[in-house]
Chains A and B, each alone.
Chain A
């Protein structure tokens, strides 16, 4: 590469915007420094957003609820106190109900629903959606078996005695163990799925999205079980509700911590999540009314030396459930806005490149 001083001065005067090797370097090749903020092309979006809508929002919520409920029910069954039968029963039925609706929503969202089975012909560890497909399918199997076992125990299958006896003889601890592991994958993969895209706000939150979706799934599951138990015979379920409340407090506190960690993690990339309508929904719907309010309500009752009344449990459970649904919506919607912002895409790539080159 030869370049006389005459040629260089000519090159520079022709355009003030074109970079030369001595002014910032080419944006290619190996180990070069970042030449200042990226520019953009008429602010046209660089990456393309997915057309996921309410089906996916609702599925993300139900997937977390299903995985969480099954996990709680299995934990109660494997390690729980003596009168935990009600938690086990309600947890299994909630998980089963959610897992029945989930594939319907997922298939409905496809551009060609009749080809859904093409996902069941491939297994790829590098595709989070493929991991999720198989996790949901196997979870559905174990959840179905556990629920059938429950139904047989509850006498719902007495009209078919042979089947009822067969289902009661199932190795339920094994089913619960494997099913819980599948349930954990179902409740976590949705967050990792979003993180494994080029969308800046999702990708930057890669270490938080999976944990956050799991934690939210668990807290909505605990809330849903509490809700149903407090609708039922309250005195009989009092002990179960007290146990659930302890678990809920831990889950909600963890969730608050994870959301707080988002602020420094995302930095400027968090703008679509923290500002505007999505920001208002996140802080109003999820953080304030979905997490802090139920925590304070219960804390207030505790400080007063009583256990929460039926109304308090119902209200706080509903708040947690609505907050969980809002959380999924806000993430999907913030992703759309983030994908449409070319400057965010460049900033994300720059941050990632700098991080990689520092280490």
Chain B
């Protein structure tokens, strides 16, 4: 079987949050409390240890006289773990709790993780969270358990407009590219894919998106960088300094007066 993934087409999202609810139900994730963020209809704000799908709402004030009668242009996007080609979290994990499973998903084994927290700041997308109740890190499993018995993840199943689709990555990418050209033909010139044919060190995303505005508008990083690229320059500089100071200290301790 090839790699499996999500294609989230934001042009079809109606902001119903059925994906958020289905995800919480299936994965038995606790509620996040009753807080109102004041950010449009988005009270979840961000992905976290207990929120593995998050619908973002962006309101673009439009021109009422533009002929289509709309005063606001809505952008809605259901965010999820990207299951990257080169995952910062998985590289950072010192226990081997984060692995790539047989479906190509980046999976966090909750029974191996010891809650060291290193994967949390190592994710360039801010996906992984720390679950203080369980004492372990936690993120989207791409419904590994459902995939095992051959059914699609809960969010894709629940999505009423098929904004979220699940399937074989090659097929999904082909479908997504076709969708982009269809949108371009209809005059929606802004449509593009985020996470396909990327030249970043994070690579392509197994959960990719069709977006209508810059990634930063949706709180996605533009050209994210794999944190582990900093290891070699970091150690080279550190060891060079250490070598210099070791020699300097040795000379200082030397008995020059005989």
- B227 touching A14 by the CB < 8 A rule? no
B73 in contact (CB, < 8 A): yes
Distance in angstroms between the alpha carbons of A353 and B224 in the assembled complex: 8
- B249 touching A250 by the CB < 8 A rule? yes
Using known A-B contacts A119-B94, A243-B252, determine if residue A28 contacts B193 with beta carbons closer than 8 Å: yes
- Which of A78-86, A143-151, A273-281, A315-323 forms contacts with chain B? A78-86
- A203 touching B246 by the CB < 8 A rule? no
Q: Is the interface of A mostly helix, strand, loop or mixed?
A: helix
Using known A-B contacts A75-B246, A112-B114, A346-B216, determine if residue A191 contacts B193 with beta carbons closer than 8 Å: no
- Which of B2-10, B23-31, B116-124 forms contacts with chain A? B116-124
A158 in contact (CB, < 8 A): no
- A196 touching B126 by the CB < 8 A rule? no
Distance in angstroms between the alpha carbons of A244 and B135 in the assembled complex: 44
A289 in contact (CB, < 8 A): no
For residue B113, which residues in chain A have a CB less than 8 angstroms away from its CB? 111-112, 115, 118
Distance in angstroms between the alpha carbons of A311 and B77 in the assembled complex: 65
Using known A-B contacts A47-B124, A48-B129, determine if residue A38 contacts B118 with beta carbons closer than 8 Å: no
For residue B117, which residues in chain A have a CB less than 8 angstroms away from its CB? 50-52, 109, 111
The minimal Cβ–Cβ distance linking A137 to chain B, given in whole angstroms, is 12
- B114 touching A127 by the CB < 8 A rule? no
Beta-carbon contacts under 8 Å, B33-87 to A: 37, 39-40, 42, 45-46, 48, 56, 58, 60, 62-63, 66-68, 73
Using known A-B contacts A110-B116, A112-B115, A211-B237, determine if residue A48 contacts B123 with beta carbons closer than 8 Å: yes
Chain A contact-residue range equals 35 or more
The minimal Cβ–Cβ distance linking A206 to chain B, given in whole angstroms, is 4
The closest CB in chain B to the CB of A130 belongs to B94
Distance in angstroms between the alpha carbons of A138 and B137 in the assembled complex: 27
- B234 touching A210 by the CB < 8 A rule? yes
For residue A119, which residues in chain B have a CB less than 8 angstroms away from its CB? 94-95, 114, 116
For residue A188, which residues in chain B have a CB less than 8 angstroms away from its CB? 235, 238-239, 242
The closest CB in chain B to the CB of A84 belongs to B253
A305 in contact (CB, < 8 A): no
Chain A proximity mask over B197-216: 1 for CB below 8 Å, otherwise 0: 11110000000000011111
- A207 touching B46 by the CB < 8 A rule? no
CB contact between B94 and one of A7, A30, A127, A215 (< 8 Å): that residue: A127
Chain B proximity mask over A53-90: 1 for CB below 8 Å, otherwise 0: 00000000000000000011001101111101001000
For residue B213, which residues in chain A have a CB less than 8 angstroms away from its CB? 17-19
- A122 touching B199 by the CB < 8 A rule? no
A166 in contact (CB, < 8 A): no
Indicate the member of B45, B195, B227 with the most A CB atoms within 10 Å. Answer: B227
The closest CB in chain B to the CB of A41 belongs to B219
Distance in angstroms between the alpha carbons of A76 and B251 in the assembled complex: 10
For residue A13, which residues in chain B have a CB less than 8 angstroms away from its CB? 63, 66-67
B174 in contact (CB, < 8 A): no
The minimal Cβ–Cβ distance linking A243 to chain B, given in whole angstroms, is 5
Q: List 9 A-B contacts (CB under 8 A).
A: A2-B185, A15-B60, A41-B216, A48-B126, A49-B121, A51-B130, A111-B113, A111-B131, A112-B114
Nearest 5 CB-CB pairings of A with B: A111-B115, A210-B238, A81-B255, A111-B135, A41-B219
Query: Which residues from chain A sit less than 8 Å from chain B, CB to CB?
Result: 1-3, 7-8, 10-11, 13-21, 26-31, 35, 38-42, 44-52, 71-72, 75-76, 78-82, 84, 87, 109-113, 115-116, 118-119, 121-122, 124, 126-130, 133, 180, 184, 187-189, 191-193, 195-199, 202-203, 206-211, 213-215, 218, 222, 243-244, 246-247, 250-251, 254, 258, 335, 339, 342, 345-346, 348-350, 352-353
14 extra interface residue pairs, beta carbon distance < 8 Å, beyond A41-B216, A51-B132, A254-B241: A11-B187, A35-B214, A50-B121, A75-B253, A110-B114, A111-B116, A118-B97, A126-B91, A187-B242, A192-B238, A198-B124, A250-B248, A251-B245, A349-B224
